[in-house]
Amino acid sequence: MAAPAPLPIPGSETPDPSFGDLLAARPALAMDPLAGLMVEEVPLARIAAAVGSPTWVYSAGTLRRRARMLKDALAEAGLDASIHYATKANPALAVVNLLAQEGLGADVVSEGELRGALAAGVPASGIVFSGVGKTDREMRLAIAEDILQLNIESAEEAEMLSAVAASLGRKARVALRVNPDVDAKTHAKITTGLTENKFGVPIATAPELYARLCALPGLDPVGLTVHIGSQIAQGIGSYRAAYQRLGELVRELRAAGHPVHRVDCGGGLGITYRDEIPATPAALAGAIKAGLGDLGVKIMMEPGRWIAGPAGVLLTRVIVEKHATTRRFVIVDAAMNDLLRPAMYEAWHGILPVSPSAFRAPLSPADVVGPVCESSDTFTKARDLPPLPPESLVAILDAGAYGASMSSTYNARPLAAEVMVEGARFSVIRDRQSYDALLAGQRLPSWTEGQNPG
């Protein structure tokens, strides 16, 4: 199958949604005529005054509501299912802990994420370890913690894991990640279910490999797993095709006498950043049921973005407006090191002014950019925005997933603070990185005479 062409910037041919439309579609947000833009009942201006900027702000109510919507959709479809939140989307301990309280497990891809999930209170029995390259050390930790399962991605990895488990006198529960060669019709950089992608094993080779897994001394094969891509927003067809193929494979494996108890259906469900209309949780549950519903397998899911994305905004402050010959640049104190998605995927994020007067002011096109020394440090181009004098606050929307988790300290910019809001309360869930912390751990080479920095 040919590689998908990068999609055009979603909806770039249609007018941007109005501020009112953006607000109406986001239950986490409200515009108070006096206090301005609020997350739940907390004015963002209050958070900026107390915590500074840039700051990530998450709505606890939205996280909870979306976790429940997914659980309900799976239950209403009559599926015996568990949800394992993909912590890569937003690994803040407070977020993972809140979702654990809602009964969600975790999908992790590194030792750091595994330790984070455990520290956040997710029981090991609810943790799945995914990823194309797990180190020996990560395998040992996962086995020592007795997590629910490791999703393995190649024959080579299966051999390594079996050897590690056998050396510990254990058997690792594993699911085989199958690459169904289905086009998820998403951005080329985040599609994962095509043969040319590095993920999983080609579905045609799965029966032979599964038989091999069953014969390895350190493995206890429990089922299959699939994940075809992220921000899937073009209908339910790709999911249907993938689960159909998985269902056929389950039958084939069972006919050959192999145990298949679970199918992990991955994540990938898209959200509306601009005007995308992704499938609903009910439609997704229907696709799972159609492909796998009559097999008596336990269903697992690994959603990340769908749960956390709409729950967060990136609150930033205007440094200065620069009027160049042909363009109006609004330079804000957040940058591509904070929210990488626009620079990396040309992603569109809604941007709302925080003050009520700016909300109603006349609009003119502006490029919103950060202070980082890269032209790609651009959140949007030619977006209709009101006048935004220095110190104005703006919120970049739908930044709860793949926002803070993809941040770096490029240009020696400290990691931004993170705040959780619940009703009329807010709490700092991660301090802004201090400059001491930014420089910590560095020293001059041992052979250098003179003082170490810091």
Ligand X SMILES: Cc1ncc(COP(=O)(O)O)c(C=O)c1O
Ligand Y SMILES: N[C@@H](CCCC[NH3+])C(=O)O
Q: Binding residue per annotation — 374?
A: yes
Residue 134 found at the interface with ligand Y (CB under 6 A): no
Q: Give CA separation, 336 vs 118, 370, 377, 408, in Å.
A: 30, 7, 5, 9
> Token pair for residue 174?
């594993």
Residue placing its CB nearer to ligand Y in the complex, 90 or 162: 90
- What's the closest the beta carbon of residue 185 comes to ligand X, in angstroms? 14
Convert residues 275-304 into a mask of x (bound to ligand X by CB under 6 A) and - (unbound): ---------------------------xxx
Tell me whether residue 265 is one of the annotated catalytic residues.
Answer: no
Nearer residue to ligand Y within complex by CB, 332 or 401: 401
Q: If contact means CB under 5 to 8 A according to the sort of partner, which of ligand Y, ligand X, none does residue 107 touch?
A: ligand X
Which uninterrupted H or E stretch holds 201? strand 201-202
Element (H, E) at 141: helix 136-145
Q: Which of 130, 162, 316, 380 forms a contact with ligand X (CB under 6 A)?
A: 130
Site for ligand X in 80-99 (CB under 6 A): 86, 89
Quick one: DSSP state of residue 402? S
Length of the chain: 454
Q: Which of residues 85-114 bind ligand Y (CB under 6 A)?
A: 88
Cβ proximity of 218 and 162 under 8 Å: yes
Q: Looking only at residues 328 through 357 of this chain, which bind ligand Y when binding is defined by CB under 6 A? A: 341
Q: What is the DSSP letter of 446?
A: T
Q: Which residues between 396 and 415 bind ligand Y (CB under 6 A)?
A: 402, 406
Amino acid sitting at position 295: L
> Is 230 one of the binding residues for ligand Y (CB under 6 A)?
yes
Q: Which amino acid is at 159?
A: E
Binding site partner of 303, from ligand Y, ligand X, none, Cβ cut-off 5-8 A by kind: ligand X
H or E element: which one contains 369?
A: strand 364-369
Residue 266 lies near ligand X (rule: CB under 6 A)? yes
**Where are any strands of DSSP class E within 282-377?**
298-301, 312-323, 328-332, 351-353, 364-369
What value does the CA radius of gyration of the chain take, rounded to a whole number of Å?
23
Q: Which is nearer to ligand Y, 88 or 413 (CB)?
A: 88
Does position 272 interact with ligand Y (CB under 6 A)? The reply is no
- Residue 401 CB, shortest distance to ligand Y, in Å, is 7
Helices 136-145 & 111-119 angle (0-180, nearest 10): 20
Q: Is 190 in the site for ligand Y (CB under 6 A)?
A: yes
* Among the listed residues 159, 257, 165, the one whose alpha carbon sits nearest the alpha carbon of residue 207: 257
324, 373, 412, 424: the active-site residue? 373
**Beta strands, E only, 87-142:** 105-108, 127-129
DSSP string for residues in 24-46: HT-TTEEEETTTEEEETTEEHHH
Distance CA 454, CA 452 (A): 6
Single residue of 55, 87, 179, 231 touching ligand Y by CB under 6 A: 231
* Minimum CB distance to ligand Y smaller for 19 or for 402: 402
- Residue from 91, 221, 223, 268 touching ligand X (CB under 6 A): that is 268
Residues of the binding site for substrate: 305, 341, 345, 374, 402
Q: By CB under 6 A, name the binding residues for ligand Y.
A: 88, 190, 230-231, 341, 402, 406
Q: By CB under 6 A, name the binding residues for ligand X.
A: 86, 89, 107, 130, 227, 230, 266-269, 302-306
Residues of the binding site: 268, 302-305, 341, 345, 374, 402
Active-site annotation, residues:
373
